[in-house]
Structure 1
């Protein structure tokens, strides 16, 4: 096993975070994918295991350009651990959603384990989270946006799909 220095791992993760921040800002997800080795293994527990950039790329575009991903504004790390012997970065990433219209901050977090390949590339990423927390956060955002009159049609469709009739919840609350 190749050992990478703490400085190299920290620098690579700093570049990873900057690339992810730019992707979230520009909504161009290709640079995010390009920081993975061509034969990356990406484990996403709710979706499955993707192998190679060619499997990761369409998934990330689809995920981040549809609700609720397209309402997530950034993915900052809340804490990180650098594990030199394994070449891994273990971190908790926040996934805040855009302001529904009243300054609310609604988000969910996940744990990510990134394994470094060298040369600024990552050979593996595993995202660990409770999907129900993401559904709950997105539903909370939808309800708040509905109250404020900022609920998009796409979010309303998602809300109906996951258990709430977006156009009739207000009426139920008033009864």
Structure 2
């Protein structure tokens, strides 16, 4: 049992959502800052780490007030895709859509962001970390600028829309009337039923944990052997992989083939074959949604210096039953993979040179020792 109840943490998260949207739409990011402790740590995966509420508000405002070139100011809506409250440890795991203002034609332009929040009491959070694909965000903004420009070149004003609507209603068989919302009593009638509903899905927590243990074991085995059919043994034949950079890949064979096309590269310029370790960090079971949310490290093999050359990956796994997962969604920063590759190659060069010098010294010492050995 944690220090704070699930209800308290959840209430703070709901306020966080309200304040975040209000800040984005008003431009006053101090309202977002009100959700954090004074010494909050904010980890922005692309920009860096900010320490303290004042710094977080200042840097976030500087980023989100951009209105030329890449107008981040129009990313001003944050509907929550899904979230899990870890009551025992005081964390909120959330996937939040970063959605742009209507560009003019109603098209939804949004990208997913994994946001981790650590609760610290009194309705405040002391830590936030975001993980997303910055390339997808840049492309989203470019698309918005293009669509917005096209809509403004040939705009349809409200008068024209009203005239078209009136003309269209003339084709109807019945006269028009006011739209009717659901009755106010609807929610009240079902309040008791909602309160008595269980929060558990079809599968017991223990089954999801066992399936995830098998999944992570198969992932580790696939990396060690470079045979990704082992990974395929943890997913259904008709599985879907939704990757933030590669898109949607369907079926077990297609998923395995896509991974092998990438990780079987052995050339010296990009030896992705050495990306072969995948230890799991934090994870949480969402029994109600029958899923597992997890962080794992995509790590290059040790070059001999003990340094970890790795990138952080978030994965949401939807369970199917029979120990298999049917949907995998992965989110990460591709730039971190490129940096891990470069650091791995640089580390290998340094270590190989050091090893050659050491082998040379040892050979010289051995030769000297042999020359000093008395003849018997």
TM-score (ref. length: structure 2): 0.38
One of 145, 150, 158 as aligned partner of 1:147 = 150
Deviations 1:55-101 (A, max 9, x none): 11211111121143210121121111001121011111111111221
Runs of 5+ in structure 1 lacking a partner? Answer: 151-175
1:85 and 2:81 equivalent? Answer: no
Q: Which residue of 2 aligns with 1:103?
A: 106
Residue equivalent to 1:29? 29
Quote the residue 1:133 is aligned against: 136
In structure 2, what is the equivalent of residue 10 of structure 1?
10
Q: CA deviation at 1:24?
A: 2.5
Residue 78 of structure 2 is matched in structure 1 by: 75
- Greater shift, 119-128 or 72-81, is seen at 72-81
Offset of residue 134 of structure 1 = 0.3
Alignment partner, residue 45 of structure 1 = 45
Alpha-carbon displacement from aligned partner over 1:24-77 (angstroms, at most 9, x marks no partner): 232211011121100000000101111101211211111121143210121121
Q: Does 1:60 align with 2:86?
A: no
Residue ranges of structure 2 left out of the alignment (5+ in a row): 154-376
- SS state at 2:120 partner: strand
How far is 1:18 from its partner?
Answer: 1.5
Runs of 4+ in 1 over 6 A off after TM superposition: none
Structure 1 counterpart of 2:224? none
TM-superposed CA distance for 1:2, in Å, is 5.9
Match of 1:158 in 2: none
Bigger CA radius of gyration:
2
Instruction: Return the structure number with greater relative CO, CA threshold 8 A, min gap 6.
Output: 1
**Number of aligned residues:** 150
Give the RMSD, CA atoms, in angstroms.
1.7
